[in-house]
Amino acid sequence: MLKLNVAGVPEHFNFPWHMAIESGAFADAGFEVNWTDFPGGTGAMMQSLRQGKSDIAVVLTQGAVADILRGNPSRIVKTFVETPLVWGIHVAADSKIETIGQIEGRKYAISRKGSGSHLMSIVDAAERGWDSDSPQFEIVGGLEGARKALANGDAEVFFWEKATTAPYVDNGEFRLVGVRKTIWPAFVICVRQDVLEKHGKELRAMFEVLNRHCTELVANEDAVKIIAKRYELDPHDTEMWFSATAWDEDFEMPDRALPVVIQYLNRLNIVKAPMAMPEDVWHQL
């Protein structure tokens, strides 16, 4: 039995992983998968890979590429969610910010440096033609920290996956002032290089089990109801998210998307790797 520690955010995108774990499908295939939730997001998970605490992590594409180019001894092996991630741009419900144009130069709540909430705030500013150095940042550790920071006035703007924060918009805690879609796949799967070297063939077999559960979820007529209940989401919001989401079920390198991510990271001075190629961050299983 191959034991693997897997890191992921406690969000609805990762439900196929839990289907495979809870059904015993991974165990039947010879894998003991120990899942750990990381509310702090991509930055925290990439750090866990660096420290050898996690073997595998399900992370945001741009965060994975950035940290690997900074020397993280891991590689992307698979696209997990191939559709873009829709980021909600939030302010406190009682904020004086009324329009998206008013967030320029404000203080943003971010999980940590290098996290998705950090990187996407910079990308958004650049796409709007603002100085990408203009955002100020308050490190809050994750969604719960951001809720406190916006409520206390320690930060004014917060980027997070739109469906996850919908309950806090619906209950009047947050107000949504805009959205930002990524122009690359939402989530990828990263594996530490030493694990890849020892267990490459076995890992492909494990991800084939995961692929089957992604297929089963999409085909399940009750999927929206099950996910909404499990993650305490509004059924209507969940249905909209589910209909717009596609899980990747192959092992092909996203050779169009990765160069775009690398170009963005260099352009915004998030990394300094102008000669980097997709093969520098990808391992073909």
For every residue of 169-189, DSSP letters joined together read HHTTSEEEEEEEE-SS-SEEE
Fold of 86-181: D-Maltodextrin-Binding Protein; domain 2 (3.40.190)
Per-residue confidence (pLDDT) for residue 241, from 0 to 100: 93
The alpha-helical segments, DSSP class H, found in 1-158 are 15-22, 25-28, 42-50, 61-69, 116-127, 143-152
Per-residue confidence (pLDDT) for residue 269, from 0 to 100: 84
Please give the single-letter amino acid code of residue 30: G
* CATH topology agreement for domains 2-83+185-280 and 86-181: yes
The alpha-helical segments, DSSP class H, found in the chain are 15-22, 25-28, 42-50, 61-69, 116-127, 143-152, 162-170, 193-219, 223-230, 235-243, 257-267
Question: Out of 3.40.190.10, 3.90.25.10, 3.30.465.10, 3.90.1570.10, which CATH number does the structure's domain 2-83+185-280 have?
Answer: 3.40.190.10
**Higher-scoring residue by pLDDT: 270, 57:** 57
Per-residue confidence (pLDDT) for residue 136, from 0 to 100: 86
Q: Which of 29-38, 124-133, 230-239, 273-282 has the lowest mean pLDDT?
A: 124-133
Rounded Cα gap, residues 179 and 198, in angstroms: 42
Ordered by start, the domain boundaries in the chain are 2-83+185-280, 86-181
Per-residue confidence (pLDDT) for residue 58, from 0 to 100: 98
Mean of the pLDDT values across residues 10-20?
Answer: 96
Contact predicate 26/20, CB 8 Å: yes
Per-residue confidence (pLDDT) for residue 163, from 0 to 100: 87
Please give the single-letter amino acid code of residue 113: K
User: At residue 189, does pLDDT exceed 90?
Assistant: yes
Q: Which residues contact 144 (CB under 8 A, 6 or more apart)?
A: 39
Per-residue confidence (pLDDT) for residue 134, from 0 to 100: 65
Per-residue confidence (pLDDT) for residue 80, from 0 to 100: 98
Structure tokens at 17: 């992983």
Mean of the pLDDT values across residues 74-95?
Answer: 96
Contact predicate 26/64, CB 8 Å: no
Per-residue confidence (pLDDT) for residue 132, from 0 to 100: 65
- Helices 61-69 and 257-267: crossing angle in degrees, nearest 10, is 60
Per-residue confidence (pLDDT) for residue 264, from 0 to 100: 87
